[in-house]
Amino acid sequence: MIPVADRRANIFGYRFLLTAVILFSAVSAAPGANGAPAPSAVRSSVDRVIDKAGRQIRIVSPFHRIISLYGAHTENLFALGLDEEIVGVSRHEVFPDAALAKPVFSYHDDPERFLAATPDLVLIRPMIDRGYPQLVTRLEKSGITVVSLQPGSIPEMYRYWETLGKLTGRLAQAREMVRRFKKATMDFRQTVQSVSPRKKVYFEAVHSKMKTFAPQSMPVFLLETVGGEYAATGAQSVRGTNIAAFGKERILAAGPTIDVYLAQYGVMNRPRLEDIYTEPGFQVIKAVRNFDVYLIDESIVSRPTFRLLNGMLEIGVRLYPAIFCAEGADILKTASEGRPDLLSPPAPCAGEQKEVHH
């Protein structure tokens, strides 16, 4: 039998040992004398993102040599202040001007051209992932991280901006973009809060195929934010994209109620006003008869960038010029305060695009 004094000594020893272990663990978890974070802090700082292809990207440190193969990625990277980190851009850059001075890359290029630029990150979109898997595979096998991103809605755009922020160490800047964009959107909505009745608008995506935009797409969000009523109700998304099938028959059926006809134009889609005014049967469309047909640059209505605010203002001016010519530019000025590089100069209100072609 162990004497009472010995048992007390053993208990004291166990307590001392336990206390020492706890103190050692606390010291190990705390920052070191040189200011370096503890191992647990390092682990918690590692972030992960999942791209459109399901890749899980582990971000140990920000990427700093980036090739962007999509104009929206490029524009957003510049908006995050990453001019020096961008070492290559796509062929179809339009904004900002600094992007036009960067080396140009294409998914048609030989992989060796990419490797010679020594990027650590290549940003693509799903179309490139699907159409050029050999390029993507070669880049990845060479140790280059490839990330495929392309949001389809405004909520997805906010997450997309934050993903770019995480990849590049600019999360705070990305969240500031989201904050500014949301504030401007609220301001636009309040500007037309009392407008009634609202103008009904058909928004053309691809003229040759008589397609419009899906109800949850960014162009429709812009339209509704500035007080437009979407005329293509029931339009069905094509393969989960922003483009929706509608057809000429349904356009003509809604024609007498369509107050304004908008059509986007861009690199792959170049409608002319005369194409719409002279389209057989389109004279039943109220907007065509009243010459309220306008072309809108796709880069400010379909690309997930901060310049969607430019698109909002331009659409607003086409719908309610008396309101937006007076107040719209101030909303953009507030949104870009201290960061004029985020937006294009607003289009002048004086030159309304009521051109007639026969």
Choose among 209, 231, 210: nearest CA to 219: 231
pLDDT tens for 172-211 read: 999 999 999 999 999 999 999 999 999 999 999 999 889 9
Q: Region 240-258: what's the mean pLDDT?
A: 94
Cα–Cα distance for residue pair 95/78, rounded to 1 Å: 9
What is residue 38's predicted lDDT score, i.e. its pLDDT?
A: 37
Q: Region 209-221: what's the mean pLDDT?
A: 95
Whether the per-residue pLDDT at 19 is higher than 70: the answer is no
Q: Region 256-271: what's the mean pLDDT?
A: 94
Would you list the domain boundaries of the chain?
44-169, 197-342
- Identify the band that residue 350 occupies on the pLDDT scale cut at 50, 70 and 90: low
- Identify the band that residue 239 occupies on the pLDDT scale cut at 50, 70 and 90: confident
- Identify the band that residue 35 occupies on the pLDDT scale cut at 50, 70 and 90: very low
Q: What is the mean pLDDT of the chain?
A: 88
Whether the per-residue pLDDT at 29 is higher than 60: the answer is no
Q: Region 83-104: what's the mean pLDDT?
A: 96
The domain defined by 44-169 carries CATH number 3.40.50.1980: yes
In DSSP terms, which residues pair with 185 in a beta bridge? none
Domains 44-169 and 197-342 share a fold: yes
Q: Is the dihedral of CA 143, 36, 82, 46 positive or negative?
A: positive
Whether the per-residue pLDDT at 62 is higher than 50: the answer is yes
What is residue 268's predicted lDDT score, i.e. its pLDDT?
A: 83
Tokens for 236?
A: 């069905």
Percent of the chain residues topping a pLDDT of 70: 85
- Identify the band that residue 7 occupies on the pLDDT scale cut at 50, 70 and 90: very low
Instruction: Tell me the range of 4-8, 11-15, 29-33, 260-264 where mean pLDDT is highest.
Output: 260-264
Give the containing element (helix H, strand E) for 206: strand 200-206
Q: Is the dihedral of CA 198, 272, 206, 151 positive or negative?
A: negative
pLDDT tens for 37-55 read: 333 333 345 789 999 999 9
Q: Region 19-37: what's the mean pLDDT?
A: 39
- Helix, strand, coil distribution of the chain in percent, nearest 5: 45, 15, 35
What is residue 1's predicted lDDT score, i.e. its pLDDT?
A: 45
Q: Region 103-127: what's the mean pLDDT?
A: 97
What is residue 23's predicted lDDT score, i.e. its pLDDT?
A: 38
- Identify the band that residue 234 occupies on the pLDDT scale cut at 50, 70 and 90: confident
Cα–Cα distance for residue pair 264/272, rounded to 1 Å: 10
What is residue 233's predicted lDDT score, i.e. its pLDDT?
A: 87
CATH class of 197-342: alpha beta
pLDDT tens for 308-331 read: 999 999 999 999 999 999 999 999
